[in-house]
Chain A
């Protein structure tokens, strides 16, 4: 195995482009190293990106949007004084991953590129409308988070491409986001169902919404039908029921050791209602 510590994204891209066999980028390593030790993936080339300047930074831009470095760990997101005020759902989704020790290492981009449908930070990012900057041999492009995973363990990134930043939009007025997951325990578990909701109000009425679901399909889903169910409503009981129905209808889960098709489909509806309520209450709080 070759191990590299490039000093720039360009160098990292050129290493990845010329590498043969299996290549993995190493940030926190909370998936890569675990898979290595468990003989699941043994990379031929390991590119440690933590030495690239700025990769741990969490920056608010002049327009209010956010840029989060690819090696910024969950713990730094949780302790950031402003980020969680703007995007509590994204921060909470990230914070749910693993233990305190894992939080000191794990990153948003690692969680995204591991491409698990149950990744906790991904539905929250998708609901938030987050994008990632992808750097590759042909330059740089911006991609919506929901377009990165293509199947469990697979991404749309081409050979030599890597994510070089996460971009969260400016929060704006009268808006809130939330993420909830269902696990049988209270922590240290993998989502059986996850749900992210991000919405904006005009008065009491929802005018914009994005609803995402995790662990109920091969990739995290952005469900337009769920958004449609609540846009134009005050999130009354009828709207919540329509939301739950749309969420359950969008599910295409599997039965595995963590949950059954029936259970996941049902709980997706329950979680969508509960998550939307939190996001709604946050938006109301923000509009006071």
Chain B
């Protein structure tokens, strides 16, 4: 979820109170897009093609920080097949705020701000010609001092990225690289620490990690001199792409039609634009469609990883495990632009617990790295790593059970959240109880193994949502949603529509509509799709059902409110009960053209009842003390789904969060050389876990209904990556017998920690 789009959820009272069971929701049918994906028929970003299409390529800065003195394109222009070259001069001017930041990131202006920053682009008749042309574009740089580490970037003498970034929130006396400040909490932490029997305090660091989606960014743009354009791209939000591309190119938003392709993973990293405005700028200049596809190394150098973090945590405990006060400072480095999600770190850090005294501080720090992008629960996993590590250290020291201590302090229905509001109906205790009862928690450990437990929290999000549902004459339905399907959401939408309409799942086709054919939709982020598009699908289906009942009432000559909808049929009710045979949906739609016209339903709103979500993970790790190698031997995820619409895909989200967390915890990291260049720009050295690195991950679905959704749904996509860093660090620390405080816990770091000694 992008920082500027987060809206605190005010809650809601949408839950169907009388519902006892479901016919379709909670079943596990095959996903509608499955066959296309396994047979290769599905069209991903790079599959777009247009007659006369050109191929684009991007010139990128080899320097971490450099003034651009001169760009000479003459040799490239002379190359056979080159049709257009663009630089910053080919984009809109006068932009402010996030539009200006995104433009600066998409195409550098006066300075290159990180290794891989785009400085020019070329379109040619073949991909090879475009590649050759890139090599012929001469860029003269004045190399400037750079900084890539978060703590180093805050130092008084650190090179300044941009002295106009800092906003009014930043207290006096900081380096200009500190661009935003956050403070929140309640109670009196000093008094709370004074009440404590023991106070634990430590500092933690995490490296930036990439979302690691399989599909690199790819798009095809076509833009004429009349300001009308088309864009096909792989994105989590095509209305966002429409809005930003239009702004960056000086177009009217509605004149640019954007179609989202199938998506090979996003995890937050495709909630913004990188190459899309560039393809359109090239197309406008060449007057031909232009395709741009990133290589993996471009993805790693120039798209958004998550932030790196440096954090201080202090927690006071009574000897029985009761927390008397908690305090955290979160310094997040988000690349060369403001926006590191430090307030999410701060707000989520202690949200699992009902605390009398809590205070959290955040710093948004810029450095010479690519602009961070959202990555699953942005800001929350690193905060949980720091906080849950301290709780584990305290449990070890005080000889207390880690689940019991969490239960003792757990946030409950009505608790005042560490970030302000009061919780509604929540599942924190339920996930802890389920974890405690799981056989994993009682299973014996082998020598050399250690167990870790950690909990995590994520807000979840609603967002602007439009859904349209149309019935066909044959009694089937088509649903148009505007949220790209990043986790099986078309199956979930079809299940929810089937539940309301009472027709089989297979009779419903769900399509991701383009920007010209549906109202505005916020991005597929914030774990919002099954919640918000699902709620809108249910309401759109209910609107259609209302019309179906009206048609039946008219046919029977009885009042509209004397017809109810049951099992896919209009049924007379009340005084007319039993007067007529139930009328199936297909009988009504067969003649709908003659009984009042086509029947459809739609719904547009910004729902604000996305229920918060909690999870608790149990991990067993084995550490080889001679090499520092770690093996994750057992992993159990317990998480509240509210209501699992398609349990298989809910389990998939849980497992995916754990898998990405294992990578983040153990081996993934951005490695910068002394020269500020990224050293590991391919998957060989950017070490995401491979299948054989992972155990089978057990997924336990807890269902504490969300009052803000008709069926009780809570988003499940992000919470699953919040506890893993901490749960794994706790397991590794307990296995190694020393405390690991810096991620990734790579083998050399584990050996260093073993050599240094200390307690777990």
Contact = CB atoms under 8 A, between A and B. Distances in A.
B626 interface: yes
Interface string B656-680: 0000000000110001000000011
A189 B297 CA distance: 17
Interface in B676-693: 679-680, 683-685, 687, 689-690, 692-693
Interface string A190-211: 1010000000000000000000
Contacts of A80: none
Contacts of B687: 184-185, 189
Interface string A113-145: 000000000000000000000000000000000
Interface string A167-193: 000000000000000101111111010
A182 B748 contact: no
Given A184-B667, A270-B626, A270-B627, A263 B747 contact: yes
A154 B751 CA distance: 33
A257 B748 contact: no
Given A182-B629, A185-B690, A257 B685 contact: yes
Interface in B628-680: 628-629, 666-667, 671, 679-680
Contacts of A260: 748
A266 interface: yes
B690 A188 contact: yes
Q: Is the interface of A mostly helix, strand, loop or mixed?
A: loop
B747 A184 contact: yes
A46 to B, nearest CB: 16
A185 B627 contact: no
A189 B684 contact: yes
A186 B690 contact: yes
A77 interface: no
Interface string A241-270: 000000000000000111110110011001
Most chain B CB within 10 A, of A188, A190, A256, A259, is at A188
A151 B676 CA distance: 26
B692 A187 contact: yes
B746 interface: yes
Contacts of A182: 627, 629, 747
Contacts of B667: 184-185
B684 A186 contact: no
A257 B671 contact: yes
A263 B751 contact: yes
A17 B361 CA distance: 68
Interface residues of B, number: 22
Contacts of A188: 683-684, 690
B124 to A, nearest CB: 17
Contacts of B748: 259-260, 262-263
Nearest to B131: A39
A257 B690 contact: no
Most-contacted residue by chain A among B627, B629, B690, B692 (CB, 10 A): B627
Contacts of B680: 257
Which of A184, A187, A192, A267 is the most central at the interface, judged by chain B CB atoms within 10 Å of its CB? A184
Contacts of B690: 185-188
Contacts of B747: 182, 184, 192, 263, 267
B664 to A, nearest CB: 14
A256 B748 CA distance: 12
Given A259-B748, A262-B748, A184 B629 contact: yes
A241 to B, nearest CB: 13
Contacts of B627: 182, 267, 270
Nearest to B667: A184
A128 to B, nearest CB: 25
Nearest to B666: A184
A186 B679 contact: no
B696 to A, nearest CB: 15
A192 B684 CA distance: 12
Contacts of A189: 684, 687
Nearest to B628: A263
A259 B751 CA distance: 12
A258 B685 CA distance: 7
Nearest to A273: B626
Nearest to A263: B748
A186 B692 contact: yes
Among A185, A189, A267, find the residue whose CB has the most chain B CB atoms closer than 10 A.
A185
Contacts of B693: 185-186
Contacts of B666: 184
Interface in B730-760: 746-748, 751
Contacts of B751: 263, 266
B301 to A, nearest CB: 13
B679 A257 contact: yes
A182 to B, nearest CB: 6
Interface string B611-638: 0000000000000001111000000000
Interface centre among A189, A190, A263, A266 (most CB of B within 10 A): A263
A270 B297 CA distance: 34
Nearest to B624: A270
A190 B684 contact: yes
A188 B689 CA distance: 10
Nearest to B694: A186
Nearest to B682: A38
Contacts of A270: 626-627
B746 A184 contact: yes
Nearest to B297: A38
Contacts of A185: 667, 687, 689-690, 692-693
A202 B667 CA distance: 44
Nearest to B626: A270
Nearest to B689: A185
A266 B628 CA distance: 11
A219 B689 CA distance: 29
A220 B751 CA distance: 25
B666 to A, nearest CB: 7
Q: Which of A182, A190, A257, A262 has the most CB of B within 10 A?
A: A257
B695 to A, nearest CB: 11
Contacts of A184: 629, 666-667, 687, 746-747
A189 B683 CA distance: 9
A260 to B, nearest CB: 5
Interface string B682-716: 01110101101100000000000000000000000
12 contacts: A182-B627, A184-B687, A184-B747, A185-B687, A186-B690, A186-B692, A187-B690, A188-B690, A189-B684, A257-B671, A266-B751, A267-B626
Which 7 A/B pairs are nearest by Cβ-Cβ distance?
Answer: A263-B748, A186-B692, A270-B626, A257-B679, A257-B671, A184-B667, A188-B690
Given A184-B666, A260-B748, 7 more contacts: A184-B746, A186-B692, A188-B684, A188-B690, A189-B684, A258-B685, A259-B748
